[in-house]
Amino acid sequence: MTIGDVIKKYRKNKGMTQEAMAARLGVTAPAVNKWEKGNTLPDVALLAPIARLLGITTDELLSFKDELTDEEIDQYLSKIQKDLESKGFHDVFLSVKEKVEEYPNCEKLIWQAAVILDAKRMTTELPNKDRYDNVISGWYERCLLSTDERIRDQAADSLFHMFIRNEDYEKAAQYLDYFSLENPERKRKEALVNSKTGKRTEAYRAYEELIYIGYQHIQMTLNDLRILYMEDDDHEMAKKLVEVSSSAASTFEMGKYNEICWGLDVAAWEKDVAWTAQLMREILDSIGTIGDFTKSKLYQHMALKTVDPDFSAVVKRELLKSLGDESFNYMQGNEDWEKLKSDVY
């Protein structure tokens, strides 16, 4: 919005005519008309009286333009990138600073321009790089007030890493509160601060917990995706995802049982007699490894409970009972399957 648009908007909100406004300010009605049409600008001495009369701040009055479209922002960001290649950093910085002052409420512009300039100064040999800290960090701070969660998170992330670079770990830690307790990024950042402040054990444990939780999330996602492919009768992808789940269990050292258990549902779905018999035998034989991940050095700083032998026995018993389920009717008469069933019946 131009200053004329702002005046017109709030004058009308007040139910005030151009003549009434002019009389209150000691100017002519045509002068007010010219302001609103953008033909002229009010005298600087009138800015404060105009703002008071309209019930707004001078900052609101002077916010010539509140927003840019996404397309306009993208075009301007591209211009910044090109200017940084052909002009000095300081000149580009001053130009961007003017743009931000022109659009003080355009959060996306402020955030992304700050990111571009911040990254450029970190990857370029510049004298006194830290002289830009206050302005760039100030832009990020403004974005922390955004109603857009993505902008808030990215601004907090940028501020966190800025102070990590400056080795001000106490200040960096203050920005962790902008991330929810459930956000893995918060735990990762806490681990980084701990690793820099002598709390090595806490850092190791946090990183290991992230690996462990990340593995669980990966397997749940792979499982859901496999089910989706099975519903769409895509046998090739269903089998592919069994292979990926098995590889993930091996990579994250989850033990033999967790490496081979993923294919049973697909084998039953395909009614693959030989594969089903082989998998069930391997699963039953590997029950004792169900808790082997607790022995892995990948998780050595975590307080993982060892798997109770009674739990393994229960799992094995339930698996053996499942041999008679209707879902395995296609296995009747298979010699290997009948041998397994004989352990139960």
Tell me the pLDDT tens digit for each residue of 250-271.
999 999 999 999 999 999 999 9
In a domain, 76, yes or no: yes
Residues contacting residue 187 through CB under 8 Å, at least 6 positions apart: 206, 209, 210
| Residue 64 scores a pLDDT above 70 | no
Q: What is the pLDDT of residue 343?
A: 65
How far, in Å, are 105, 110, 118, 172, 183 from residue 146 at the CA level?
10, 11, 20, 20, 19
CA neighbor of 76 nearest in space, from 53, 103, 37, 39: 103
153, 169, 193 - which closes a domain: 193
Fill in the amino acid letter for 331: M
Distance of CA 155 to the CA centre of its chain: 12
Q: Is 77 in the same domain as 17?
A: no
Question: Does 227 score more than 90 pLDDT?
Answer: yes
Tokens coding 4: 């004329």
The pLDDT-based confidence of 126 (bands split at 50, 70, 90) is confident
Rounded distance, CA 82 to CA 267, Å? 56
Q: Quick one: 180 and 310 in the same domain?
A: no
CA 299 to chain centre: 25
Residues 51 and 74 in one domain: no
Shared domain for 169 and 234, answered yes or no, is: no
Same-domain pairing of 233 and 255: yes
Amino acid at residue number 243: E
**pLDDT of 272:** 95
Q: What is the pLDDT, as a whole number, of residue 91?
A: 94
Instruction: Examine residue 207 and state whether it is found in any structural domain, yes or no.
Output: yes
Lowest mean pLDDT among 60-74, 244-258, 271-285: 60-74
Residues 335 and 244 grouped into a single domain? yes
Mean pLDDT of 54-81: 83
**CATH number of the domain where residue 51 is located:** 1.10.260.40
Query: Greatest CA separation found in the chain?
Result: 104
Q: Angle 306-308-312 (CA atoms, 0-180°, nearest 5)?
A: 115
Q: What angle do CA 99, 105, 110 make, to 5 degrees?
A: 50
Task: For 193-209, give one letter per residue: b (16+ CB within 10 A) or e.
Answer: bbbeeeeeebbbbbbbb
CA distance 176 to 160: 8
Q: How confident is the model at residue 66 (pLDDT cuts 50, 70, 90)?
A: low
Domain boundary among 167, 193, 219: 193
Query: 65 falls in which pLDDT band (50, 70, 90)?
Result: low
Residues 158 and 123 in one domain: yes
- pLDDT tens for 207-217 read 999 999 999 99
pLDDT at residue 62 in the model: 76
Verify that 164 and 90 share a domain, yes or no. Answer: yes
- Return the pLDDT at 123: 87
CA pair distance 120, 116, nearest whole angstrom? 6
Residue 21 lies in a domain: yes
Contact in structure between 301 and 307 (CB atoms under 8 Å):
no
- Establish if 198 belongs to a structural domain: no
Same domain, 188 and 223: no
Task: Report whether pLDDT(194) > 70.
Answer: yes
180 and 51 inside one domain: no
Q: Is residue 226 domain-shared with residue 272, that is, in the same domain?
A: yes
How confident is the model over 319-330, as pLDDT tens digits?
888 888 888 999
Number of domains in the chain: 3
Top mean-pLDDT range of 120-129, 283-292, 311-320: 283-292
Regarding whether 187 and 224 lie in a shared domain, the answer is no
Residue 1 has pLDDT above 80, yes or no: no
Which of 143, 167, 193 is the last residue before a domain boundary?
193
Burial class (CB in 10 A: 0-12, 13-18, 19+), 303: exposed
Exposed, middle or buried by CB within 10 Å (0-12, 13-18, 19+), for 39? exposed
Domain holding 58, by residue range, is 3-62
Tokens 């009286």 found at: 49
Q: Chain-wide mean pLDDT for the chain? A: 91
Q: pLDDT at residue 342 above 60?
A: yes
